[in-house]
A and B are shown apart, each in its own frame.
Chain A
Amino acid sequence: MILNVQQHDGIDIVDLSGRFVMADTAETRERMLAIINQGSGKLIIDLQNVTFIDSSACAVLISAFKNIHAKSGRLILVTSPVVQSVLELTRLHTIFEILPSIPAAIGAFGAK
């Protein structure tokens, strides 16, 4: 799995691509925590290019969600149909804020 980070108007955008599975979780969790600790509390995780996700990867997203909430920040996920299906299967779509595209997610931060 590939993880890229960029910033846009004070918003951290983490772009994940490829298979997001158990083998990637430790490193991703650590990097995500570092981004949240150093960041502004505005985080977008772009999962549009994730081709597969399992439950341990979902746990990393939950941990990011918890960490950013502890900082009174906000996390928005941008998903692909595959990721969206897994989030709905596990009912995680009810806790995450999910938007269909990066511009929509950036717009949501602007609107708040």
Chain B
Amino acid sequence: MDVILLADRRGQELLPLTDESCPALLPFAGKMVIEHTFEALVEAGLRQAHIVFPPEAENGKEALGGGERWGMRLEISLSRGEEPPLQIFARWKQPPAAPFLILRGDIIRSCRIGDFLKQAEALAAQPCVAARLSGQNAYMLLCRGPLGAYLNHLNWVDPAPYANAEADIPGVIALLDSLRAYHQANLDAAAGRLPSLLIPGRQIALGLTQGRNTEAYPQNLKRGVAWIGSNSHLHPSVELLGEVVIGDNVIIDRRVSIESSVILPHSYIGELVELRNAIVRGNDLIRVDNGAILKITDSFLLADLKAANMNQNLRSVLSRIGGGILLALSLPLWVLAFAASRRQNPAQPYVTRRLRGNKIEYNRENQPQRKEFSVGEWNVDAPALRYLPRLLAVISGDLELIGALPVTMEVAGHRTEEWQKLADKAPAGLLGPTQLNVPADAPEEEKLMSDSFYASNFSPKQDLYYLLQGFYALFSRKAWLRESDR
């Protein structure tokens, strides 16, 4: 049976959440809104669907792919946005053939679609049967006859009243037709009031559910119910009250208090912040009780971690360009390094080491981890010559120009304490405070402390300082003499 998913709401009523996307692709309890409909369709044995997106959902295809993730085959087309279904079908080369199921995919429906199909079967004489969920329009029709005006019952704008057969099944519908409704539906999902939805995560304490790789503590939940997505980090002093939803990749700092709020993915909540009846998306603060919508410009209060990633990408590109320039400038030194290493170690002038880099790979448990890479070293005493080949690793992106001291996988594996892991938050680099200021034979703890301090005070200004210090060091004795001769 053909399935048509109307997901062409433009989402003006959900601005600013929909400024870059459409309601069907908004995050909702760990998934996109439309994914919950996919799962209900798969449960009913329906594995093919044609999705209609609005023009704003340019990222729709990229986000859903071909549907393999859900065991489905998806076809995607665009409408002009919030169009009546008959207008959409008029442009299709082949309109859907009866029987077909047509439903909105940009709302949340907690029900069993199979139950509706069974009830509709009993009404076989009817050309079309509409679903109702506990008496409410479920925006879902099973059509067996020719296309007709009855399809306007699914219009997002002014749905036409329905006069034909209806099947009422148990369930709940959340239209997400306002910011307040979106907020409430998220809280309902966390509190289990949308029972048919498959919400990911496991319960770590009574009322507290969290996704994988999330660091949260039972004491975080002061009262109520909280659902936390994956890869999120909550400081032990964070307080969650009432019903709270925290999406994926969220960082919540010390002594934050969150009550009846929804924190969307990739958000940072700064120290001591208090949130109540709010939706937070990055640095957007939406208060559903007083209607205030504002962008917080102070990144120590709220910040968009996606923007931070973009800055990270820009930093990485600049680092590679810088590495390329330095490589070109250092070419005469390579000749010198080759000659010196041949003289000092004729048997082995060039050695290779394996270090932990900055590129990410997924291990057997599907967890992201830093990738190991090989890098050469000239076998000479002068550090300025010895580490020249690391410029190649800067160009390849395995190292940054400025960063923490690169270490082997084995050394990294011994970092188990929280303060030790802090150093891993900084990328590994060619130059940095440890490489420039800490003696090579200093104890491992001293180097680690220096890198941890660098990671916790990380700033572009500081990096520029280390770059200048690196240039200055090139003209100093310590760059050209072995440690014991300085």
Bound pair (A, B): yes
Q: Hey, which bits of chain A sit against chain B, CB under 8 A?
A: 21, 52, 54-55, 80-82, 84-86, 88-91
Closest to A54 in B: B297
User: Which of B273, B287, B298 contacts A81 (CB under 8 A)?
Assistant: B287
User: Which of B272, B278, B294 contacts A91 (CB under 8 A)?
Assistant: B272
CB contacts under 8 Å to A, within B276-300, are 276, 278, 285, 287, 290-292, 294, 296-298, 300
Counting from the closest, the 8 A-B pairs by CB-CB distance are: A81-B292, A81-B290, A85-B292, A55-B298, A82-B292, A85-B287, A91-B274, A82-B294
Residue B32 CB within 8 A of the other chain: no
Query: Could you say which residues of chain A place their CB within 8 Å of the CB of B296?
Result: 54, 86, 89
Query: Could you say which residues of chain B place their CB within 8 Å of the CB of A54?
Result: 296-298
The B interface, classified by DSSP as helix, strand, loop or mixed, is loop
Using A54-B297, A54-B298, A55-B298 as known contacts, say yes or no to A85 and B273 having CB atoms under 8 A apart.
no
Residue B29 CB within 8 A of the other chain: no
Task: Report the minimum CB–CB distance from B99 to chain A (whole Å).
Answer: 50
A90 near B294 with CB under 8 A, answer no
Q: Assuming A55-B298, A81-B290, A89-B301, what are 6 further A-B pairs, CB within 8 angstroms?
A: A52-B294, A55-B300, A80-B292, A84-B292, A86-B294, A89-B302
CB contacts under 8 Å to A, within B374-419, are none
A90 near B273 with CB under 8 A, answer yes
How many residues of B sit at the interface, in one of the four size bands? 10 to 19
Residue B275 CB within 8 A of the other chain: yes
Query: Could you say which residues of chain B place their CB within 8 Å of the CB of A89?
Result: 273-275, 285, 296, 301-302
Query: Could you say which residues of chain A place their CB within 8 Å of the CB of B302?
Result: 89
| Whole-angstrom CA separation of A85 from B278 in the bound complex | 9
Closest to B278 in A: A85
Using A89-B274, A90-B273, A91-B274 as known contacts, say yes or no to A84 and B298 having CB atoms under 8 A apart.
no
Query: Could you count the A-B residue pairs with CB atoms below 8 Å apart for me: how many are there?
Result: 41
The A interface, classified by DSSP as helix, strand, loop or mixed, is helix
Contact code string B255-279 (vs A, CB < 8 Å = 1, else 0)? 0000000000000000011111010
| Whole-angstrom CA separation of A85 from B301 in the bound complex | 12
Query: Could you say which residues of chain B place their CB within 8 Å of the CB of A84?
Result: 290, 292
| Whole-angstrom CA separation of A59 from B273 in the bound complex | 16
Query: Could you say which residues of chain B place their CB within 8 Å of the CB of A91?
Result: 272-274
Task: Report the minimum CB–CB distance from B60 to chain A (whole Å).
Answer: 32
Query: Could you say which residues of chain B place their CB within 8 Å of the CB of A88?
Result: 274, 276
Task: Report the minimum CB–CB distance from B290 to chain A (whole Å).
Answer: 4
Closest to A84 in B: B290
Closest to A52 in B: B294
Query: Could you say which residues of chain A place their CB within 8 Å of the CB of B273?
Result: 89-91
| Whole-angstrom CA separation of A80 from B275 in the bound complex | 17
Interface centre among B276, B278, B290, B291 (most CB of A within 10 A): B290
Query: Could you say which residues of chain A place their CB within 8 Å of the CB of B278?
Result: 85
Mind listing 14 A-B residue pairs with CB under 8 Å?
Answer: A21-B297, A54-B297, A54-B298, A55-B301, A80-B292, A81-B291, A85-B285, A85-B290, A85-B294, A86-B296, A89-B273, A90-B273, A91-B272, A91-B273
Contact code string B140-160 (vs A, CB < 8 Å = 1, else 0)? 000000000000000000000
Closest to A80 in B: B292
Task: Report the minimum CB–CB distance from B298 to chain A (whole Å).
Answer: 4
Closest to A89 in B: B273
Closest to A85 in B: B292
Closest to B287 in A: A85
Task: Report the minimum CB–CB distance from A98 to chain B (whole Å).
Answer: 12
Task: Report the minimum CB–CB distance from A41 to chain B (whole Å).
Answer: 30
Closest to B294 in A: A82
Closest to B257 in A: A91
Query: Could you say which residues of chain A place their CB within 8 Å of the CB of B276?
Result: 88
Query: Could you say which residues of chain A place their CB within 8 Å of the CB of B275?
Result: 89
Query: Could you say which residues of chain A place their CB within 8 Å of the CB of B291?
Result: 81
